[in-house]
Structure 1
Amino acid sequence: MLDIDRIRAISLDLDDTLWPVLPTLKAAEAAQHRFLSEHAPATAALLQDKVVAGAIRQSVRDDFVHKAHDMTHFRQQFIRRALLQAGEDEALVEPTFAQFYAARNQVTWFAEVEDSLAWLSARYPLVAVSNGNARLDWVGLAPWFAACASAHEVGVAKPHVGIFTAASQAIAVPLAAFLHVGDDAALDVEGALACGMQAAWVQRQELDYHQAAASATHLQWPLASQAPQAMVRDLAELCLLLGRPDR
C-alpha cells in the first residue's frame, strides 16, 4: 500500500509513461532516412535492408558494451558504421543524428499528462529518470520538472542504483522519500524498490503491449518479485491516489 505521508518527491520515467515512444522513434527513423536519401543515398539504401541494419546494430552493441546505457552514443555509432560500410562520408554522422534527434524529441503526450504534471509539481518536486535521451526542454515538459537524471548523462541506466541516486542528489531528497513512477516492471519498479523507494507501475491500455495487463478489472503484477505500492493506468489515477479530488 502506498504510504503518502512518506513521499517528498516524485521521479518519473518518460518514454511510454508520459508519451508513446514507438511512434516517436518511427518518425525519427523516417527523418534520418530522408536526410540520408538526399545526402548519402548509398547508406539510405543499405539501411533499408533489415538484415544488414540489424547486423550493424548488433556490431555496435557488441563493440560498445560499456556504453550500452547511452542511446545517443549508440545512434551516432550506428550511423557512422552504416556510412563507412556504404563508402560514404563519415562527416555526415553529426548532421544525420541531428535530424534523428530533433524528430525524437517531437513527442505527443498522453492526454492527461499536462494537467497531471501541473497538479503533481505544485505538491512535489518532480525528477525525470530515463534510460532514453529525450530532452525535457525540447519536448516541452521542463516547466514541471526540478531536475533530470538520464542514463546518457549519469553513465548508468535503470535499474542501476546510480541513476536513482543521481535523481536523489539532484534535489537533496533521500531515496526513501521518493515515489518512482514508470511503465517498465523490471527497470522502473524493481529498480526503484531495490533502492528503497516506493513505486507506482503505469500500464496504459492505449499501448498495444500493455493491453493484456491493462484490460483486467484489476491490474495484476506479472513478476515473481515484490509488487509496487501502486498500480495505475495513467497519471490521472495516480493523482487520485495522492489525494486529488475526483472531478
Structure 2
Amino acid sequence: GGHVVPWPWGTLGAREDLAMTQHPHSRALLLLGVLVLPCVVCWSPSRLSAGCEGRGRLVVSFDLDDTLWPIVPVVSAANKAVEEASGLRGALVQDEMKLVRRESHGGDPMSYTHLRKEALRRLLVAQGHPSSPGTIPHTAEDLFTTWLEERNSESEKLVYSDVVPCLASLADQGALIGAITNGRGDCSVIPSLAPFVQFQVSGEDPGVFPHRKPSPVIFHAAMEKAKALGWSGEPSEWWHVGDCMDNDVTAAQALGLRTVLLSRPGLDGENPFSTKPATAAPRRGGEIPRRDDDHDDDDDDGGGGGVAHRTRPDVRLLSLESLPGLVFDTQRIE
C-alpha cells in the first residue's frame, strides 16, 4: 500500500512517501521543485531564443562591408596586393572595370567577380603577359585569387572592436547568426567571425545573382538556410542589421523582419571603388549620400533592383555594443 504522490515523470510509492512523512518540509520542497524546475530550464540562456512556447531560434543577420569592417581600407589593401604581384595599379584596374561595365550595358548582368576578372584579363593581354618568375601570376584567375584572399585577410585585421563581443553575446544567448551581403566578404575564412556566423548568403552566389539586396530573393535564400538551422519562419523572430537604408532596412522590413540601421560615425562620403555612376540618393535616412545606391558596392554590379519606398528602422545604433541586450529584451517583453 502506501499513499501515492503525483509526479510529472510517474509516481512516488510508499517508501518515498514514508521518507516525506518523516521530514515534513520535504513535500513542500518537492512541490516547489515541480513548479520551478520547468521555468529554470526554459529561461536558461542557451534556450532563451526558443522559449517554452516552442518558438524557433531567434535570428540576427548582418550586412558585412561597413557594418562589421570598413570597406575602403579593405579594398585598398586587396588592390595593393594585386599591384605588388603584377604591377597593375588599383586605379588602372578600376578604370578598366568601368570600361567593361559600360561596354556590357544592355547585355546580360555581369557579376562583380566576372567584372574584375575580365578587367584583369584585358589588362594582362594589353601588357603582353610580362613574366617574372615567382612574382607575377600568369592569369586573371591568379590575380583575382590574390585580390580575394587579401580582401578577407584585411577584413580580419580591421573587424570593428564591438563586433566579436556582440556576436559572442548573441551566440551565448542562443541566437542564430547569419550574414547577408552583396559582396565577396566570407565570414567562414575570417577567423574571428567563423565560430559565430552559422550561415551566409552573397549576391554573387549561384542561384542568387543577379538578385542582390534590396531584392527579396537574396533574403529568401537566407531564410531557407535559417529554417534548416531552427528558425521558425516567423519574421518577428528575425533582426537584420546593416548600414544601408535601402538595401538593409527597407528591403528587410518589406519581408516583415525587424531592422537595425547601424550608422557608424565617420563613414559618410563617396566610395572611391565604385564602378557605377554616382547618384544623389541618400543611403541613410536624411544623411549625406555615401557611395551609390547599392551597398557592398565595391562588389556590386547593380543587379539588385530598386525599392518602392523608404521607411524607418526599428532601431538606429551608432555601434553594436548594445545590440544583444536590445534584441533579447524586446523578445522577452513580447
Q: Shorter-chain TM-score: what band?
A: 0.7 to 0.9
Q: Does 1:78 align with 2:138?
A: no
Alpha carbons 1:121, 1:145 under 8 Å: kept: no
For residues 140 and 109 of structure 2, the distance between their equivalents in structure 1, rounded to whole angstroms, comes to: 18
Provide, for residues 152-198 of structure 1, a one-character-per-residue CA deviation record: whole Å limited to 9, x for no partner: 11222100101000110002132623211001111111111122211
Residue 87 of structure 1 deviates from its aligned partner by: 3.0
1:91 deviates by: 4.5
* Correspondence for 2:75 among 17, 20, 25: 25
Counterpart for residue 221 of structure 1: 285
Partners of 1:175 and 1:100 lie apart in 2 by 39
Aligned to 1:203: 263
Is 2:210 the counterpart of 1:170?
A: no
The percentage of aligned residue pairs carrying the same residue is: 28
Tell me the amino acid that sits aligned with residue 21 of structure 1.
I
- Which residue of structure 2 lines up, in the alignment, with residue 217 of structure 1? none
- Distance in 1 (CA, whole Å) between partners of 2:83 and 2:62 is 31
Listed as ranges, the matches of 1:133-144 within 5 Å are: 133-140=184-191, 141-144=193-196
Stretches of structure 2 lacking an aligned partner (at least 5 in a row): 1-48, 131-136, 271-283, 288-308, 330-334
5+ residue gaps, structure 1: 38-43, 211-219
Structure with larger RCO (C-alpha < 8 A, sep 6+): 1
Distance 1:32 1:53 in 2: 10
Alpha-carbon displacement from aligned partner over 1:125-171 (angstroms, at most 9, x marks no partner): 01110011111122221210121111111222100101000110002
Q: Which of 142, 145, 151 is the equivalent residue of 1:98? A: 145
Aligned equivalents of 2:109, 2:170: Cα separation in 1: 33
Could you tell me which residue of structure 2 aligns to residue 13 of structure 1? 63
Aligned length: 221
Q: Deviations over 1:78-106 (max 9, x none)?
A: 21122123332795211111211111002
Distance 1:137 1:243 in 2: 26
Aligned runs of 1:86-125 on 2, under 5 Å? Answer: 86-88=127-129, 91-106=138-153, 107=155, 108-122=158-172, 123-125=174-176
Instruction: Give the aligned partner of residue 37 of structure 2.
Output: none
Task: Work out the CA distance in 2 between the residues paired with 1:200 and 1:103.
Answer: 29
1:152 aligned partner = 204
Structure with the greater alpha carbon radius of gyration: 2
* Paired residues for 1:36-51 under 5 Å: 36-37=86-87, 44=88, 47=89, 50=91
- Cα distance between partner residues in 1 of 2:127 and 2:312: 48
How far apart in 1 are the matches of 2:148 and 2:234? 31
After alignment, is 98-107 or 157-166 more displaced?
A: 98-107
Match of 1:216 in 2: none
Q: CA RMSD in A?
A: 2.7
Structure with more helix by fraction: 1
Q: Once structures 1 and 2 are overlaid, which stretch shifts more, 200-209 or 104-113?
A: 200-209
Shift of 1:33: 0.4
**How far apart are the structure 1 equivalents of 2:98 and 2:64?**
25
Provide the TM-score with structure 2 as the length reference. Answer: 0.60
Q: Determine the C-alpha separation between the residues in 1 that align with 2:162 and 2:190.
A: 16
Give the whole-Å Cα distance in 1 for the aligned partners of 2:269 and 2:317: 15
Q: Is the 8 A contact 2:249 2:311 kept in 1?
A: no
Distance 2:70 2:86 in 1: 25
Note if contact 2:246-2:310 (Cα within 8 Å) is conserved in structure 1: no
Cα distance between partner residues in 2 of 1:201 and 1:66: 33
Between the aligned partners of 2:214 and 2:226, the Cα distance in structure 1 is 20
- Within the candidate set 168, 172, 177, 1:126 is matched to 177
